[in-house]
Chain A
Amino acid sequence: MLIRRADSIESSEITSPDLFLRRREFLRGAGWAVAGAALAPTLACGAEEDVHPPAPAAGVTANPFRTDEETTAFEDATRYNNFYEFGTDKTDPQRYAGSLRTRPWSVAVSGEIGKPGMIDLDDLLRPHTAEERIYRLRCVEAWSMVIPWLGIPLGEIIKRFEPTSGAKYVAFKTLLDPEQMPGQRSRTLDWPYVEGLRIDEAMHPLTILATGMYGQELPNQNGAPLRLVVPWKYGFKSIKSIVEIRLTRGEPPTSWNSQTPREYGFFANVNPDVDHPRWSQKRERRIGEFRKRPTLPFNGYADQVAHLYQGIDLRKHF
Protein backbone atom coordinates (compact mmCIF):
# COMPACT_ATOMS: atom_id res chain seq x y z
CA MET A 1 0.00 0.00 0.00
CA LEU A 2 1.28 3.40 -0.86
CA ILE A 3 1.03 5.91 1.93
CA ARG A 4 1.50 9.53 1.09
CA ARG A 5 4.47 11.06 2.86
CA ALA A 6 4.37 13.84 5.38
CA ASP A 7 5.86 16.33 2.93
CA SER A 8 2.79 15.94 0.73
CA ILE A 9 0.72 17.79 3.32
CA GLU A 10 0.12 21.34 2.23
CA SER A 11 1.57 24.10 4.34
CA SER A 12 -1.89 25.64 4.56
CA GLU A 13 -2.90 22.63 6.62
CA ILE A 14 -0.27 23.05 9.26
CA THR A 15 -1.57 24.71 12.41
CA SER A 16 -0.25 28.25 12.31
CA PRO A 17 2.22 29.10 15.07
CA ASP A 18 0.36 32.22 16.13
CA LEU A 19 -2.89 30.32 16.60
CA PHE A 20 -1.03 27.87 18.74
CA LEU A 21 0.41 30.75 20.77
CA ARG A 22 -2.97 32.43 21.04
CA ARG A 23 -4.38 29.29 22.56
CA ARG A 24 -2.12 29.91 25.51
CA GLU A 25 -3.55 33.42 25.77
CA PHE A 26 -7.01 31.95 25.94
CA LEU A 27 -5.99 29.41 28.56
CA ARG A 28 -4.46 32.15 30.63
CA GLY A 29 -7.75 34.00 30.40
CA ALA A 30 -9.68 30.90 31.40
CA GLY A 31 -7.42 30.57 34.43
CA TRP A 32 -8.33 34.05 35.60
CA ALA A 33 -12.02 33.30 35.04
CA VAL A 34 -11.78 30.53 37.58
CA ALA A 35 -9.78 32.66 39.99
CA GLY A 36 -11.92 35.76 39.84
CA ALA A 37 -15.55 35.28 38.92
CA ALA A 38 -16.03 39.03 39.03
CA LEU A 39 -13.56 39.43 36.19
CA ALA A 40 -15.74 37.37 33.90
CA PRO A 41 -17.31 40.20 31.90
CA THR A 42 -13.90 41.82 31.39
CA LEU A 43 -12.49 38.47 30.35
CA ALA A 44 -15.16 37.93 27.75
CA CYS A 45 -14.31 41.27 26.16
CA GLY A 46 -10.57 40.93 26.47
CA ALA A 47 -10.27 37.39 25.19
CA GLU A 48 -12.23 38.10 22.06
CA GLU A 49 -9.42 40.28 20.77
CA ASP A 50 -7.08 37.32 20.80
CA VAL A 51 -9.48 34.93 19.21
CA HIS A 52 -8.93 33.51 15.80
CA PRO A 53 -12.29 34.15 14.12
CA PRO A 54 -14.06 30.91 13.30
CA ALA A 55 -14.25 29.99 9.64
CA PRO A 56 -17.45 31.33 8.08
CA ALA A 57 -20.40 28.97 8.34
CA ALA A 58 -20.26 28.51 4.61
CA GLY A 59 -16.78 27.02 5.10
CA VAL A 60 -17.89 24.21 2.86
CA THR A 61 -15.47 24.28 0.01
CA ALA A 62 -15.79 23.46 -3.62
CA ASN A 63 -13.86 20.27 -2.92
CA PRO A 64 -15.69 18.07 -0.40
CA PHE A 65 -12.78 15.64 -0.26
CA ARG A 66 -10.37 18.25 1.04
CA THR A 67 -11.86 21.06 3.04
CA ASP A 68 -9.66 24.13 3.23
CA GLU A 69 -10.55 24.83 6.84
CA GLU A 70 -7.80 24.79 9.41
CA THR A 71 -6.93 21.25 10.43
CA THR A 72 -6.97 20.41 14.10
CA ALA A 73 -3.61 20.25 15.82
CA PHE A 74 -2.23 16.69 15.70
CA GLU A 75 -1.65 16.92 19.44
CA ASP A 76 -5.34 17.55 20.07
CA ALA A 77 -6.57 14.94 17.59
CA THR A 78 -4.53 12.30 19.40
CA ARG A 79 -5.25 13.12 23.03
CA TYR A 80 -8.96 13.94 22.91
CA ASN A 81 -10.76 10.79 21.84
CA ASN A 82 -13.90 8.82 22.55
CA PHE A 83 -12.72 5.22 22.40
CA TYR A 84 -14.43 3.63 25.39
CA GLU A 85 -12.56 0.38 24.74
CA PHE A 86 -9.70 2.13 26.51
CA GLY A 87 -11.67 4.10 29.12
CA THR A 88 -14.32 6.77 29.13
CA ASP A 89 -12.17 9.84 29.77
CA LYS A 90 -11.10 11.74 26.71
CA THR A 91 -7.45 11.26 27.62
CA ASP A 92 -7.78 7.53 28.40
CA PRO A 93 -7.26 6.28 24.84
CA GLN A 94 -3.93 8.06 24.52
CA ARG A 95 -2.91 6.76 27.92
CA TYR A 96 -3.94 3.14 27.51
CA ALA A 97 -4.09 2.34 23.81
CA GLY A 98 -0.42 1.44 23.76
CA SER A 99 -1.42 -2.11 24.61
CA LEU A 100 -3.19 -2.56 21.28
CA ARG A 101 -1.30 -4.84 18.87
CA THR A 102 -2.06 -3.67 15.36
CA ARG A 103 -0.05 -6.37 13.54
CA PRO A 104 -0.79 -9.08 12.65
CA TRP A 105 -4.34 -7.93 11.86
CA SER A 106 -7.00 -9.74 9.85
CA VAL A 107 -10.41 -8.67 8.70
CA ALA A 108 -13.21 -11.20 8.29
CA VAL A 109 -15.28 -10.33 5.21
CA SER A 110 -18.55 -12.23 4.99
CA GLY A 111 -22.26 -12.13 4.24
CA GLU A 112 -23.93 -11.30 0.96
CA ILE A 113 -20.76 -11.48 -1.12
CA GLY A 114 -19.25 -13.78 -3.70
CA LYS A 115 -15.90 -14.18 -1.97
CA PRO A 116 -16.13 -14.43 1.84
CA GLY A 117 -13.02 -15.07 3.86
CA MET A 118 -10.47 -13.99 6.39
CA ILE A 119 -7.99 -11.59 4.87
CA ASP A 120 -4.81 -10.18 6.27
CA LEU A 121 -4.96 -6.40 6.53
CA ASP A 122 -1.94 -5.81 4.31
CA ASP A 123 -3.45 -8.08 1.65
CA LEU A 124 -6.72 -6.19 1.95
CA LEU A 125 -5.01 -2.85 1.36
CA ARG A 126 -2.30 -3.75 -1.15
CA PRO A 127 -4.27 -3.31 -4.40
CA HIS A 128 -5.35 0.20 -3.41
CA THR A 129 -3.67 3.57 -3.19
CA ALA A 130 -4.39 5.51 -0.01
CA GLU A 131 -5.59 9.01 -0.71
CA GLU A 132 -5.61 12.01 1.55
CA ARG A 133 -9.06 13.17 2.61
CA ILE A 134 -9.44 16.23 4.81
CA TYR A 135 -12.79 15.87 6.53
CA ARG A 136 -14.73 17.53 9.29
CA LEU A 137 -15.51 15.12 12.13
CA ARG A 138 -18.50 16.05 14.29
CA CYS A 139 -19.05 14.22 17.55
CA VAL A 140 -22.57 13.78 18.88
CA GLU A 141 -21.33 15.54 22.03
CA ALA A 142 -21.16 18.79 20.02
CA TRP A 143 -17.44 19.15 19.44
CA SER A 144 -15.68 18.79 16.13
CA MET A 145 -12.32 18.57 14.43
CA VAL A 146 -10.86 18.75 10.94
CA ILE A 147 -8.69 15.71 10.28
CA PRO A 148 -6.46 14.94 7.30
CA TRP A 149 -7.10 11.23 6.88
CA LEU A 150 -5.29 8.74 4.66
CA GLY A 151 -7.68 6.14 3.37
CA ILE A 152 -9.32 4.13 0.66
CA PRO A 153 -12.89 4.55 -0.53
CA LEU A 154 -14.93 1.81 1.14
CA GLY A 155 -16.82 1.25 -2.11
CA GLU A 156 -13.64 0.17 -3.89
CA ILE A 157 -12.96 -2.46 -1.26
CA ILE A 158 -16.52 -3.75 -1.20
CA LYS A 159 -16.57 -4.14 -4.98
CA ARG A 160 -13.62 -6.53 -4.77
CA PHE A 161 -15.71 -8.95 -2.76
CA GLU A 162 -18.52 -9.07 -5.32
CA PRO A 163 -21.58 -8.14 -3.27
CA THR A 164 -24.75 -9.95 -4.31
CA SER A 165 -28.09 -8.27 -4.99
CA GLY A 166 -29.12 -9.18 -1.45
CA ALA A 167 -26.51 -6.89 0.06
CA LYS A 168 -28.52 -3.97 1.43
CA TYR A 169 -26.36 -3.00 4.40
CA VAL A 170 -22.77 -3.16 5.55
CA ALA A 171 -22.06 -4.16 9.14
CA PHE A 172 -18.78 -3.59 10.98
CA LYS A 173 -17.32 -4.95 14.16
CA THR A 174 -14.44 -3.79 16.40
CA LEU A 175 -11.90 -6.08 18.02
CA LEU A 176 -13.06 -7.78 21.21
CA ASP A 177 -10.10 -8.36 23.52
CA PRO A 178 -10.33 -7.09 27.11
CA GLU A 179 -6.67 -7.88 27.64
CA GLN A 180 -5.59 -5.40 25.01
CA MET A 181 -8.55 -3.08 25.56
CA PRO A 182 -8.98 -2.52 29.32
CA GLY A 183 -12.18 -0.51 28.88
CA GLN A 184 -13.90 -3.65 27.65
CA ARG A 185 -13.66 -5.06 31.16
CA SER A 186 -16.45 -2.64 32.16
CA ARG A 187 -19.85 -2.88 30.60
CA THR A 188 -20.09 0.77 29.59
CA LEU A 189 -21.19 -0.57 26.21
CA ASP A 190 -22.17 -4.00 25.00
CA TRP A 191 -18.82 -5.15 23.55
CA PRO A 192 -17.72 -5.62 20.83
CA TYR A 193 -18.60 -2.27 19.28
CA VAL A 194 -20.70 -2.69 16.15
CA GLU A 195 -21.83 -0.26 13.49
CA GLY A 196 -23.51 -0.29 10.14
CA LEU A 197 -24.34 1.67 7.01
CA ARG A 198 -26.91 1.37 4.26
CA ILE A 199 -25.25 0.04 1.10
CA ASP A 200 -25.60 3.36 -0.73
CA GLU A 201 -23.96 5.18 2.22
CA ALA A 202 -21.15 2.63 2.21
CA MET A 203 -20.58 2.96 -1.52
CA HIS A 204 -20.64 6.76 -1.43
CA PRO A 205 -17.36 8.36 -2.57
CA LEU A 206 -17.01 10.25 0.72
CA THR A 207 -16.97 7.06 2.81
CA ILE A 208 -13.49 5.76 3.44
CA LEU A 209 -11.63 3.13 5.39
CA ALA A 210 -8.81 5.09 6.96
CA THR A 211 -5.38 3.67 7.69
CA GLY A 212 -3.55 6.87 8.48
CA MET A 213 -3.81 10.52 9.42
CA TYR A 214 -1.55 13.57 9.27
CA GLY A 215 0.63 11.73 6.79
CA GLN A 216 1.39 8.81 9.08
CA GLU A 217 -0.10 5.54 10.32
CA LEU A 218 -3.16 5.84 12.53
CA PRO A 219 -2.20 6.18 16.18
CA ASN A 220 -3.78 3.45 18.30
CA GLN A 221 -6.09 5.87 20.07
CA ASN A 222 -7.55 6.95 16.72
CA GLY A 223 -8.67 3.46 15.77
CA ALA A 224 -5.60 1.75 14.36
CA PRO A 225 -4.99 -0.06 12.15
CA LEU A 226 -8.25 0.32 10.21
CA ARG A 227 -11.27 2.51 10.86
CA LEU A 228 -14.29 3.86 9.06
CA VAL A 229 -14.78 7.57 8.37
CA VAL A 230 -18.27 8.76 7.41
CA PRO A 231 -17.94 12.54 7.62
CA TRP A 232 -21.61 13.49 7.34
CA LYS A 233 -22.61 11.43 10.35
CA TYR A 234 -21.89 11.78 14.04
CA GLY A 235 -18.48 10.44 14.97
CA PHE A 236 -19.73 7.31 16.74
CA LYS A 237 -20.66 5.90 13.32
CA SER A 238 -16.98 5.97 12.33
CA ILE A 239 -16.14 2.67 13.96
CA LYS A 240 -12.53 2.02 14.92
CA SER A 241 -10.13 -0.95 14.88
CA ILE A 242 -12.28 -2.99 12.51
CA VAL A 243 -11.99 -6.78 12.47
CA GLU A 244 -15.14 -7.70 10.55
CA ILE A 245 -17.03 -6.38 7.55
CA ARG A 246 -20.28 -8.15 6.75
CA LEU A 247 -22.81 -7.40 4.01
CA THR A 248 -26.33 -8.03 5.21
CA ARG A 249 -29.91 -8.08 3.99
CA GLY A 250 -31.41 -6.38 7.03
CA GLU A 251 -30.40 -3.34 9.09
CA PRO A 252 -27.64 -4.46 11.44
CA PRO A 253 -27.55 -3.52 15.15
CA THR A 254 -25.36 -0.56 16.12
CA SER A 255 -23.90 -0.18 19.60
CA TRP A 256 -25.12 3.26 20.68
CA ASN A 257 -28.55 2.67 19.20
CA SER A 258 -28.81 -0.61 21.09
CA GLN A 259 -27.68 1.07 24.26
CA THR A 260 -29.97 4.13 24.19
CA PRO A 261 -32.33 4.00 21.21
CA ARG A 262 -34.08 7.24 22.15
CA GLU A 263 -30.82 9.16 21.84
CA TYR A 264 -28.79 7.49 19.08
CA GLY A 265 -30.31 6.43 15.81
CA PHE A 266 -29.12 4.19 13.01
CA PHE A 267 -28.59 7.04 10.55
CA ALA A 268 -27.06 9.57 12.98
CA ASN A 269 -26.78 12.20 10.25
CA VAL A 270 -25.44 15.48 11.58
CA ASN A 271 -28.51 17.69 11.83
CA PRO A 272 -28.73 21.01 13.72
CA ASP A 273 -32.53 20.80 13.57
CA VAL A 274 -32.77 17.52 15.44
CA ASP A 275 -31.58 17.91 19.00
CA HIS A 276 -30.21 15.12 21.11
CA PRO A 277 -32.87 14.55 23.78
CA ARG A 278 -30.51 15.92 26.42
CA TRP A 279 -28.65 18.68 24.57
CA SER A 280 -28.90 20.93 21.57
CA GLN A 281 -27.18 20.08 18.28
CA LYS A 282 -27.41 23.59 16.87
CA ARG A 283 -23.85 24.53 17.73
CA GLU A 284 -20.52 22.83 18.18
CA ARG A 285 -17.12 23.62 19.56
CA ARG A 286 -14.35 23.22 16.98
CA ILE A 287 -11.46 21.97 19.07
CA GLY A 288 -8.82 24.69 19.20
CA GLU A 289 -11.36 27.49 18.80
CA PHE A 290 -12.72 29.65 21.54
CA ARG A 291 -16.22 30.43 20.40
CA LYS A 292 -18.76 27.87 19.32
CA ARG A 293 -19.87 27.73 15.72
CA PRO A 294 -23.16 26.77 14.08
CA THR A 295 -23.54 23.12 13.10
CA LEU A 296 -24.19 22.48 9.42
CA PRO A 297 -26.74 20.01 8.04
CA PHE A 298 -24.94 16.77 7.19
CA ASN A 299 -21.84 18.37 8.68
CA GLY A 300 -21.53 20.56 5.60
CA TYR A 301 -21.71 17.66 3.15
CA ALA A 302 -25.36 18.21 2.25
CA ASP A 303 -24.60 18.78 -1.42
CA GLN A 304 -22.97 15.38 -1.62
CA VAL A 305 -25.33 13.26 0.50
CA ALA A 306 -28.72 14.92 1.03
CA HIS A 307 -30.11 13.08 -2.01
CA LEU A 308 -29.63 9.76 -0.20
CA TYR A 309 -32.35 10.77 2.24
CA GLN A 310 -34.93 12.33 0.00
CA GLY A 311 -38.43 11.75 1.25
CA ILE A 312 -37.24 10.52 4.64
CA ASP A 313 -38.39 12.26 7.78
CA LEU A 314 -34.99 13.08 9.28
CA ARG A 315 -36.53 13.76 12.66
CA LYS A 316 -38.06 10.31 12.81
CA HIS A 317 -35.10 8.54 11.24
CA PHE A 318 -32.37 10.27 13.17
Chain B
Amino acid sequence: MDPSWRNRALQALAVAVGALPAASLIVSALTGGLGANPVERVTHVTGDWALRFLLLSLSVTPVRRLLGWSWAAPLRRTLGLTAFGYACSHFLTYLVLEHFFDWQLIVEDVLKRRYVTAGFAAFVCLVPLAVTSTRAMIRRLGRRWISLHRLVYLAAALGAIHFLWLVKSDLREPLVYAAILTLLLGLRLGFRLVGPRTRKPTPKAADSQLSRV
Protein backbone atom coordinates (compact mmCIF):
# COMPACT_ATOMS: atom_id res chain seq x y z
CA MET B 1 0.00 0.00 0.00
CA ASP B 2 1.31 3.45 -0.90
CA PRO B 3 2.45 4.91 2.48
CA SER B 4 0.98 8.37 1.89
CA TRP B 5 -2.41 6.82 1.09
CA ARG B 6 -2.12 4.72 4.21
CA ASN B 7 -1.20 7.81 6.22
CA ARG B 8 -4.24 9.66 4.97
CA ALA B 9 -6.53 6.72 5.71
CA LEU B 10 -5.04 6.43 9.17
CA GLN B 11 -5.53 10.12 9.84
CA ALA B 12 -9.12 9.96 8.62
CA LEU B 13 -9.74 7.03 10.92
CA ALA B 14 -8.15 8.86 13.84
CA VAL B 15 -10.29 11.94 13.22
CA ALA B 16 -13.41 9.78 12.98
CA VAL B 17 -12.58 7.97 16.20
CA GLY B 18 -11.85 11.30 17.87
CA ALA B 19 -15.24 12.62 16.85
CA LEU B 20 -17.14 9.62 18.21
CA PRO B 21 -17.49 10.78 21.82
CA ALA B 22 -18.67 14.20 20.63
CA ALA B 23 -21.16 12.61 18.27
CA SER B 24 -22.40 10.36 21.03
CA LEU B 25 -22.81 13.35 23.31
CA ILE B 26 -24.78 15.26 20.68
CA VAL B 27 -27.04 12.29 20.07
CA SER B 28 -27.62 11.99 23.81
CA ALA B 29 -28.43 15.68 24.01
CA LEU B 30 -30.97 15.46 21.22
CA THR B 31 -32.65 12.36 22.66
CA GLY B 32 -32.78 13.55 26.27
CA GLY B 33 -30.11 11.06 27.29
CA LEU B 34 -27.95 13.48 29.25
CA GLY B 35 -29.78 12.77 32.49
CA ALA B 36 -31.06 15.09 35.16
CA ASN B 37 -28.07 17.41 35.19
CA PRO B 38 -27.08 17.82 31.54
CA VAL B 39 -24.49 20.53 32.14
CA GLU B 40 -22.65 18.37 34.63
CA ARG B 41 -22.76 15.43 32.23
CA VAL B 42 -21.41 17.42 29.30
CA THR B 43 -18.66 18.90 31.49
CA HIS B 44 -17.59 15.47 32.72
CA VAL B 45 -17.68 13.73 29.37
CA THR B 46 -15.70 16.43 27.55
CA GLY B 47 -13.19 16.55 30.41
CA ASP B 48 -12.81 12.76 30.41
CA TRP B 49 -12.11 12.65 26.69
CA ALA B 50 -9.71 15.58 26.78
CA LEU B 51 -7.63 13.67 29.29
CA ARG B 52 -7.97 10.34 27.49
CA PHE B 53 -6.94 11.67 24.11
CA LEU B 54 -4.06 13.54 25.69
CA LEU B 55 -2.83 10.32 27.28
CA LEU B 56 -3.36 8.51 23.98
CA SER B 57 -1.26 11.07 22.16
CA LEU B 58 1.45 10.69 24.80
CA SER B 59 1.43 6.95 24.29
CA VAL B 60 2.21 7.15 20.58
CA THR B 61 5.96 7.55 20.96
CA PRO B 62 6.43 4.84 23.60
CA VAL B 63 4.34 2.46 21.50
CA ARG B 64 6.31 3.40 18.42
CA ARG B 65 9.62 2.88 20.20
CA LEU B 66 8.62 -0.39 21.81
CA LEU B 67 6.79 -1.97 18.89
CA GLY B 68 8.51 -0.24 16.00
CA TRP B 69 5.23 1.13 14.61
CA SER B 70 6.68 4.08 12.74
CA TRP B 71 3.41 4.58 10.85
CA ALA B 72 1.82 5.69 14.12
CA ALA B 73 3.91 8.86 14.39
CA PRO B 74 1.51 11.22 12.57
CA LEU B 75 -1.24 10.16 14.96
CA ARG B 76 0.38 12.09 17.73
CA ARG B 77 -0.72 15.43 16.34
CA THR B 78 -4.22 14.24 15.48
CA LEU B 79 -4.76 12.83 18.94
CA GLY B 80 -3.30 15.94 20.55
CA LEU B 81 -5.58 18.25 18.59
CA THR B 82 -8.56 16.03 19.38
CA ALA B 83 -7.67 16.36 23.04
CA PHE B 84 -7.49 20.12 22.59
CA GLY B 85 -10.89 20.12 20.93
CA TYR B 86 -12.44 18.36 23.93
CA ALA B 87 -10.54 20.64 26.30
CA CYS B 88 -12.00 23.65 24.51
CA SER B 89 -15.51 22.21 24.74
CA HIS B 90 -14.94 21.42 28.41
CA PHE B 91 -13.69 24.93 29.11
CA LEU B 92 -16.49 26.57 27.11
CA THR B 93 -19.13 24.46 28.83
CA TYR B 94 -17.73 25.70 32.09
CA LEU B 95 -17.62 29.34 30.96
CA VAL B 96 -21.03 29.40 29.34
CA LEU B 97 -23.25 26.81 30.96
CA GLU B 98 -21.79 26.80 34.43
CA HIS B 99 -21.05 30.49 34.89
CA PHE B 100 -22.80 32.27 32.00
CA PHE B 101 -19.84 34.52 31.37
CA ASP B 102 -19.93 35.83 34.93
CA TRP B 103 -16.29 36.88 34.80
CA GLN B 104 -16.12 37.85 38.45
CA LEU B 105 -17.25 34.36 39.50
CA ILE B 106 -14.92 32.76 36.98
CA VAL B 107 -11.88 34.71 38.14
CA GLU B 108 -12.78 33.90 41.73
CA ASP B 109 -13.04 30.22 40.86
CA VAL B 110 -9.71 30.16 39.06
CA LEU B 111 -7.93 31.93 41.88
CA LYS B 112 -9.57 30.27 44.87
CA ARG B 113 -10.57 26.74 43.88
CA ARG B 114 -7.37 24.83 43.35
CA TYR B 115 -8.96 22.24 41.08
CA VAL B 116 -10.10 25.03 38.75
CA THR B 117 -6.63 26.61 38.90
CA ALA B 118 -5.12 23.29 37.84
CA GLY B 119 -7.63 22.82 35.05
CA PHE B 120 -7.23 26.34 33.76
CA ALA B 121 -3.44 26.00 33.85
CA ALA B 122 -3.68 22.74 31.90
CA PHE B 123 -5.78 24.46 29.25
CA VAL B 124 -3.39 27.39 29.05
CA CYS B 125 -0.54 24.93 28.40
CA LEU B 126 -2.46 23.32 25.57
CA VAL B 127 -3.21 26.52 23.66
CA PRO B 128 0.32 27.23 22.34
CA LEU B 129 0.66 23.55 21.47
CA ALA B 130 -2.46 23.65 19.32
CA VAL B 131 -1.48 26.95 17.73
CA THR B 132 1.98 25.61 16.77
CA SER B 133 0.79 22.23 15.57
CA THR B 134 1.00 23.03 11.84
CA ARG B 135 3.90 22.00 9.61
CA ALA B 136 4.57 25.68 8.88
CA MET B 137 4.98 26.34 12.58
CA ILE B 138 7.25 23.34 13.02
CA ARG B 139 9.48 24.65 10.24
CA ARG B 140 9.46 28.16 11.64
CA LEU B 141 10.27 27.21 15.22
CA GLY B 142 12.80 24.49 14.54
CA ARG B 143 14.44 23.22 17.69
CA ARG B 144 12.35 25.58 19.82
CA TRP B 145 9.27 23.66 18.73
CA ILE B 146 10.54 20.60 20.51
CA SER B 147 11.21 22.55 23.71
CA LEU B 148 7.78 24.21 23.56
CA HIS B 149 5.99 20.95 23.05
CA ARG B 150 7.42 19.49 26.21
CA LEU B 151 4.61 21.52 27.80
CA VAL B 152 2.35 18.60 26.95
CA TYR B 153 3.73 16.66 29.93
CA LEU B 154 2.81 19.54 32.21
CA ALA B 155 -0.64 19.83 30.62
CA ALA B 156 -1.33 16.13 31.15
CA ALA B 157 -0.10 16.24 34.74
CA LEU B 158 -2.22 19.30 35.51
CA GLY B 159 -5.22 17.62 33.88
CA ALA B 160 -4.81 14.56 36.07
CA ILE B 161 -4.42 16.73 39.18
CA HIS B 162 -7.50 18.75 38.19
CA PHE B 163 -9.53 15.53 38.15
CA LEU B 164 -8.00 14.25 41.37
CA TRP B 165 -8.81 17.48 43.18
CA LEU B 166 -12.45 17.68 42.13
CA VAL B 167 -13.79 14.27 43.16
CA LYS B 168 -15.44 13.96 46.57
CA SER B 169 -14.26 10.59 47.72
CA ASP B 170 -14.02 8.11 44.85
CA LEU B 171 -10.39 8.47 43.81
CA ARG B 172 -10.34 5.37 41.64
CA GLU B 173 -10.80 6.92 38.20
CA PRO B 174 -8.43 9.87 38.72
CA LEU B 175 -5.81 7.51 40.14
CA VAL B 176 -6.06 5.32 37.06
CA TYR B 177 -5.28 8.32 34.85
CA ALA B 178 -2.45 9.35 37.16
CA ALA B 179 -1.04 5.82 37.01
CA ILE B 180 -1.19 5.73 33.20
CA LEU B 181 0.48 9.13 33.00
CA THR B 182 3.20 8.04 35.41
CA LEU B 183 3.81 4.95 33.32
CA LEU B 184 4.04 6.95 30.09
CA LEU B 185 6.37 9.53 31.62
CA GLY B 186 8.43 6.72 33.13
CA LEU B 187 8.80 5.14 29.70
CA ARG B 188 9.86 8.48 28.20
CA LEU B 189 12.50 8.90 30.88
CA GLY B 190 13.62 5.37 30.22
CA PHE B 191 14.07 6.11 26.53
CA ARG B 192 16.10 9.21 27.26
CA LEU B 193 18.41 7.25 29.54
CA VAL B 194 18.80 4.45 27.03
CA GLY B 195 19.64 6.94 24.28
CA PRO B 196 18.28 7.44 20.77
CA ARG B 197 17.64 4.19 18.91
CA THR B 198 18.21 3.78 15.16
CA ARG B 199 15.58 5.96 13.66
CA LYS B 200 12.99 4.18 11.56
CA PRO B 201 12.71 5.76 8.09
CA THR B 202 10.13 8.52 7.96
CA PRO B 203 8.83 9.97 4.66
CA LYS B 204 9.16 13.75 5.06
CA ALA B 205 11.60 16.13 6.74
CA ALA B 206 8.81 17.79 8.73
CA ASP B 207 7.68 14.42 10.07
CA SER B 208 11.18 13.63 11.31
CA GLN B 209 10.82 16.63 13.66
CA LEU B 210 7.61 15.11 14.97
CA SER B 211 9.12 11.73 15.59
CA ARG B 212 12.36 12.79 17.18
CA VAL B 213 11.31 13.52 20.78
A44 to B112, CA, bound (A): 26
Q: Is B138 an interface residue (CB 8 A)?
A: no
Of the listed stretches B8-16, B65-73, B96-104, B147-155, chain A binds: B96-104
Q: Shortest CB–CB separation between residue B146 and chain A, in angstroms? A: 29
Q: Is A110 an interface residue (CB 8 A)?
A: no
Q: Which of B29, B42, B105 has the most CB of A within 10 A?
A: B29
A278 to B28, CA, bound (A): 30
A to B CB contacts below 8 Å, 24 in the list: A24-B32, A28-B30, A30-B29, A30-B38, A30-B39, A30-B42, A31-B25, A31-B28, A33-B92, A34-B29, A34-B93, A35-B26, A40-B96, A44-B96, A73-B36, A76-B36, A79-B35, A79-B36, A80-B36, A90-B37, A143-B40, A189-B169, A278-B165, A283-B105
A20 to B92, CA, bound (A): 25
The answer to whether A80 and B29 touch across the interface, beta carbons within 8 angstroms, is no
- Closest chain A residue, CB of each to CB of B109: A280
Q: Which residues of A contact B40 (CB under 8 A)?
A: 143, 285
- Closest chain B residue, CB of each to CB of A283: B105
Q: Is A260 an interface residue (CB 8 A)?
A: yes
Q: Is B130 an interface residue (CB 8 A)?
A: no
- Which residues between 186 and 221 of chain A lie within 8 Å of chain B, taking CB atoms? 186, 188-189
Q: Is A88 an interface residue (CB 8 A)?
A: yes
Q: Is A274 an interface residue (CB 8 A)?
A: no
The answer to whether B115 and A88 touch across the interface, beta carbons within 8 angstroms, is no
Q: Which of A40, A90, A280, A291 contacts B35 (CB 8 A)?
A: A90
Q: Which residues of B contact A122 (CB under 8 A)?
A: none
- Closest chain A residue, CB of each to CB of B108: A280
Q: Shortest CB–CB separation between residue B207 and chain A, in angstroms? A: 29
- Which residues between 85 and 101 of chain B lie within 8 Å of chain A, taking CB atoms? 88-89, 92-93, 95-98, 100-101
The answer to whether B97 and A33 touch across the interface, beta carbons within 8 angstroms, is yes
Q: Shortest CB–CB separation between residue B94 and chain A, in angstroms? A: 11
A149 to B155, CA, bound (A): 46
A84 to B112, CA, bound (A): 28
The answer to whether B26 and A90 touch across the interface, beta carbons within 8 angstroms, is no
A residues with a Cβ closer than 8 A to B are 23-24, 26-28, 30-35, 37, 40, 43-44, 73, 75-77, 79-80, 84, 88, 90-91, 141, 143, 186, 188-189, 259-260, 275, 278-280, 283, 285, 287-288, 291-292
The answer to whether A44 and B113 touch across the interface, beta carbons within 8 angstroms, is no
A35 to B92, CA, bound (A): 11
The answer to whether B35 and A91 touch across the interface, beta carbons within 8 angstroms, is yes
Q: 5 shortest A-B CB distances, which residue pairs?
A: A31-B29, A80-B36, A76-B36, A88-B170, A31-B26
The answer to whether A44 and B101 touch across the interface, beta carbons within 8 angstroms, is yes
Q: Which residues of B contact A44 (CB under 8 A)?
A: 96, 100-101
Q: Which residues of B contact A26 (CB under 8 A)?
A: 38
Q: Shortest CB–CB separation between residue B51 and chain A, in angstroms? A: 16
Q: Shortest CB–CB separation between residue A22 and chain B, in angstroms? A: 12
Q: Which residues of B contact A43 (CB under 8 A)?
A: 96
Q: Which residues of A contact B36 (CB under 8 A)?
A: 73, 75-77, 79-80, 90, 287-288
The answer to whether B170 and A34 touch across the interface, beta carbons within 8 angstroms, is no
Q: Which residues of A contact B165 (CB under 8 A)?
A: 278
- Closest chain B residue, CB of each to CB of A73: B36
A23 to B105, CA, bound (A): 25
Are A278 and B46 also in contact (CB < 8 A) when A33-B96, A260-B169, A287-B36 are? Answer: no
The answer to whether A37 and B35 touch across the interface, beta carbons within 8 angstroms, is no
Q: Is B114 an interface residue (CB 8 A)?
A: yes
Q: Is B176 an interface residue (CB 8 A)?
A: no
Q: Which of A34, A88, A189 contacts B46 (CB 8 A)?
A: A34
Q: Is B34 an interface residue (CB 8 A)?
A: yes
Q: Which of A28, A31, A88, A280 contacts B113 (CB 8 A)?
A: A280
Q: Shortest CB–CB separation between residue A45 and chain B, in angstroms? A: 11
The answer to whether B169 and A37 touch across the interface, beta carbons within 8 angstroms, is no
Are A188 and B26 also in contact (CB < 8 A) when A37-B89, A40-B92 are? Answer: no
Q: Shortest CB–CB separation between residue A148 and chain B, in angstroms? A: 17
